Copies of this chain bind each other. A is one copy, B any other.
Amino acid sequence: MKYFTTVNDITDSGGLVKAALALKKNPFAHSHLGKNKTLGLIFLNPSLRTRLSTQKAARMLGMDVVIMNMDKESWAIEWKDDVIMNGSTVEHIKDAAAVLGMYCDIIGIRCFASLSDRGQDYSEHLLVQLMRYCQVPVVSLESATLHPLQSLADAITIAEHQRKGIRPKVVLTWAPHIKPLPQAVANSFSEWMLRLDTDVTIACPEGYDLCEDYTRGAKLTHNQEEALKDADFIYVKNWSAYEPYGAMPEVKTNWMLTEEKYRLSAQAHIMHCLPVRRNLELSSALIDHPNSLVKHQAENRLYAAMVVLKTMLETVRKTETSTIEVQEIEQV
């Protein structure tokens, strides 16, 4: 695995989930795999779970970790090609990425959506520029349109809690918020659930339909109550409008998940990626409900990061071995 930025980077997503569950049972079994390897983590945005879980996952694999809070600790980066750099940016991504690729064996980057330029956000401009120039494996720590480590952790959590032999009904339901948020978690959850063997329903108010590229195959509805009926897993998340991009069209009914609405489900498991605004997105009581999986999701971020890094390290090791073999052959 060279890149981990979308479910499409994975050939066997179910196998990856199983491999993560195996790691969870025996987390220190590969503590030498990452020896003498460095993971570089680049943050352009704040992070708690991702920062800590990825760091810890790498350390559990024996890797060294270096962290760069870009813009705070380093120089302002120029992301556009072919410009005369006589403004505020100090270093071009082409040069910064090449250097990072020299010092790190794997790079993780967090780069949120701007929510101002949809074309640029949905082209994953920043992520693609890094991948283009750094020449080493790259793992997304949440990009403009997707959050694959979160979705993998969600998939692991669902695998642990679904009833055997039954295709679960998974409902992604929009939640209120006070400011426009990216669509990344919602897009990502949808594309992963559709790839895995689940029955996906996405409920949101009019004006909040997600980009079709990520939801094709899901049941789409503007009726929250209908969607929640018989749900096995309810995933609560806010996002802003895809069209007009980043807008927050007025919603006349209350979409917060309450205990009353929850009763429509089949005693569903309650999910949220965190951070969550209590009593705004969903009621405090539901986050702390016996059926809530939010802590499990957070814990599984560790094993999601670990299985991805492990797979990448194995690819790196394989490349090294074949390079050494080639060298040996050449020397003969």
Please list the residues of chain A having a beta carbon within 8 angstroms of any beta carbon in chain B: 28, 31, 36, 38, 40, 43, 46-49, 51-53, 55-56, 59-60, 64, 66, 68-69, 72-75, 78, 82-87, 90-92, 94-96, 98-100, 102-104, 178, 274-280, 284, 287-288, 294-295, 298-299, 302
Residues of the B chain whose Cβ atoms lie less than 8 Å from the Cβ of A74: 46-48, 51
Smallest Cβ-Cβ distance to A82: which chain B residue: B284
Cα–Cα distance between A290 and B317 once the two chains are bound (Å)? 29
Tell me whether A52 and B278 are in contact in the complex, defined as CB-CB below 8 angstroms, given that A46-B73, A73-B46 are known contacts: no
**Additional A-B contact list (6), CB under 8 Å, known A48-B96, A86-B280:** A38-B56, A46-B75, A47-B73, A52-B66, A84-B278, A86-B277
- Given A64-B59, A86-B280, answer yes or no on A275-B73 (Cβ-Cβ < 8 Å): no
Q: Is there contact, CB below 8 Å, between A52 and B275?
A: no
Which residues of B sit under 8 angstroms from A98, Cβ to Cβ?
295, 298
Q: Are A68 and B91 neighbours in the complex by a CB distance under 8 Å?
A: no
B-chain residues with CB within 8 Å of residue A87 when the two chains form the complex = 178
CB distance B295 to A53 under 8 Å? no
The residues of B that contact A278 with a CB separation of less than 8 Å are 78, 83-85, 92, 94-95
A274 and chain B: residue at smallest CB distance: B95
Closest chain B residue, CB of each to CB of A288: B94
Closest 6 CB pairs of A and B: A91-B275, A85-B277, A84-B279, A48-B74, A99-B298, A52-B103
Contacts of A56 in B (CB 8 A): 38, 64, 66, 103
A-B contacts, 18 of them at CB < 8 A, read: A46-B74, A47-B74, A48-B91, A49-B103, A52-B103, A55-B66, A56-B66, A78-B278, A84-B278, A85-B280, A86-B277, A91-B274, A91-B275, A96-B275, A98-B298, A99-B295, A102-B298, A102-B302
In the complex formed, the residue of B with least CB distance to A297 is: B99
Q: Are the CB atoms of B279 and A83 closer together than 8 Å?
A: yes
Chain B residues within 8 Å of A90, by CB: 275, 277
Nearest-CB residue, chain B, relative to A102: B299
B95 & A294 in contact (Cβ 8 Å cutoff): yes
Instruction: Kindly list chain B residues whose C-beta atoms are within 8 Å of the C-beta of A78.
Output: 278
Task: Let me know if B275 and A95 touch, CB within 8 A.
Answer: yes
CB neighbours (8 Å) of A85 from chain B are: 277-280
Q: Which partner residue on chain B sits nearest A48 by CB separation?
A: B74
- Nearest CB of B to A256, in Å: 10
Q: Are A103 and B302 in contact (CB under 8 A)?
A: yes
Give CA–CA (A102, B31) in the complex, Å.
19
Cβ distance A53 to chain B, nearest Cβ, rounded Å = 6
B52 with A100: CB separation less than 8 A? yes
Residue of B at shortest CB range from A176?
Answer: B86
Interchain nearest-CB distance for A50 vs B (Å): 10
Instruction: Tell me which of A49, A51, A72, A82 has the highest count of chain B C-beta atoms within 10 A of its own C-beta.
Output: A49
Q: Within 8 Å CB of A100, what residues of B? A: 52
A73 to B95 Cα, complex, angstroms:
25
Q: Are B51 and A68 in contact (CB under 8 A)?
A: yes
The residues of B that contact A60 with a CB separation of less than 8 Å are 36
Residues A49 and B99 in contact, CB atoms below 8 Å apart: yes
Query: Which among A47, A275, A299 has the highest number of chain B CB atoms within 10 Å?
Result: A275
